[in-house]
């Protein structure tokens, strides 16, 4: 496997409080890697460091063999990294169509953009049904599908997902989980998934890192972690 992304002993602070303390993780091409842990564990800080929204204090981030830390957010997108933020953050007064097209702002290949748009509408039929509706009229699950589609409009090689199941009805959580698996499988997109729903995250990922207080405390094969007594106790609500 080709190494796509790596953190090497990364530290990140908010004011004088550390969010990441000596974090080292890696992701290979074609993998789905999950980051699990409680609120404040540092999961989302990893995504902010990758996307250039937060500057790291020390260590280094490497993407496709090149240093990524210090890169501006727009340039990160141009390098093939797209992020679905926590809380969805739709453009509420814009149509589903225009929300999706916002994801293609770095592209100029009109036929390619139309082809990508059609593939997203095929993957998420609800979006086709609501194509001309205002985004604010969609349910939470439908909005989540839309912002995942918006990120895919950039044709990323690496997709960052921040809490995609948050505030979503259980039935639609299953649909979104299946979509994440399909996106990785069918389009060869690597996925870094931040998720408090640890059971879902471990079920659809290849490997995972468990974080606590800004540090990696466990890592390994997701299926093995799903059955690890320590993970069951700390992240899955006890024995299952």
Kindly state the average pLDDT of the residues 169-197: 91
Structurally, the chain folds into a number of domains equal to 1
Confidence band for 16, pLDDT divided at 50, 70 and 90: confident
The model's pLDDT over 58-105, given as tens digits with 9 standing for 90+, comes to 999 999 999 999 999 889 999 999 999 887 689 999 999 999 999 998
Q: Would residue 121 count as lying in a domain?
A: yes
Q: Would residue 49 count as lying in a domain?
A: yes
- Residue 127 belongs to what domain range? 3-235
Q: Would residue 75 count as lying in a domain?
A: yes
Query: Percent of the chain, pLDDT > 70?
Result: 98
Confidence band for 237, pLDDT divided at 50, 70 and 90: low
SS3 string, 11-48, reads: EEEECCEEEEEEEEEEEECCCEEEEECCCCCCHHHHHH
- The answer to whether the beta carbons of residues 33 and 27 sit under 8 Å apart is yes
Q: Would residue 230 count as lying in a domain?
A: yes
- The pLDDT score that the predictor gives to residue 234 is 84
Q: Would residue 240 count as lying in a domain?
A: no
- The pLDDT score that the predictor gives to residue 85 is 87
Confidence band for 195, pLDDT divided at 50, 70 and 90: very high
Strand partners, 170: none
Q: Is the pLDDT of residue 148 over 50?
A: yes
Q: Is the pLDDT of residue 240 over 50?
A: no
- The pLDDT score that the predictor gives to residue 236 is 78
What CATH number does the domain containing 90 carry? 3.40.50.300
């Amino acid at each position: 496997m080709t190494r796509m992304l790596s953190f090497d002993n990364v530290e990140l602070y908010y004011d004088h409080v550390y969010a990441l303390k000596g974090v080292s993780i890696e992701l290979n091409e074609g993998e789905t890697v999950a980051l699990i842990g409680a609120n404040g564990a540092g999961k989302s800080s990893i995504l902010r460091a990758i996307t250039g929204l937060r500057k790291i204090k020390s260590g280094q981030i490497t993407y496709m063999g090149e240093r990524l830390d210090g890169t501006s957010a727009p340039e990160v997108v141009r390098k093939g990294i797209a992020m679905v933020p926590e809380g969805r953050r739709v453009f509420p007064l814009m149509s589903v169509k225009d929300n999706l097209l916002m994801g293609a702002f770095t592209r100029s290949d009109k036929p390619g953009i139309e082809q990508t748009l059609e593939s997203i509408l095929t993957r998420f039929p609800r979006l086709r049904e609501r194509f001309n509706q205002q985004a604010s009229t969609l349910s939470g699950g439908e909005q989540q599908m839309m912002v995942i589609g918006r990120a895919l409009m950039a044709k990323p090689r690496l997709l960052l997902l921040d809490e995609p199941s948050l505030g979503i009805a259980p039935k639609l959580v299953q649909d979104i989980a299946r979509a994440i698996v399909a996106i990785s499988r069918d389009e060869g997109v690597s996925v870094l998934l931040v998720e408090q729903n640890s059971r879902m995250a471990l079920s659809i990922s290849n490997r995972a890192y468990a974080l606590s207080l800004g540090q990696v405390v466990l890592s390994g094969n997701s299926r093995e972690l799903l059955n690890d007594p320590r993970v069951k106790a700390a992240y899955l609500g006890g024995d299952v």
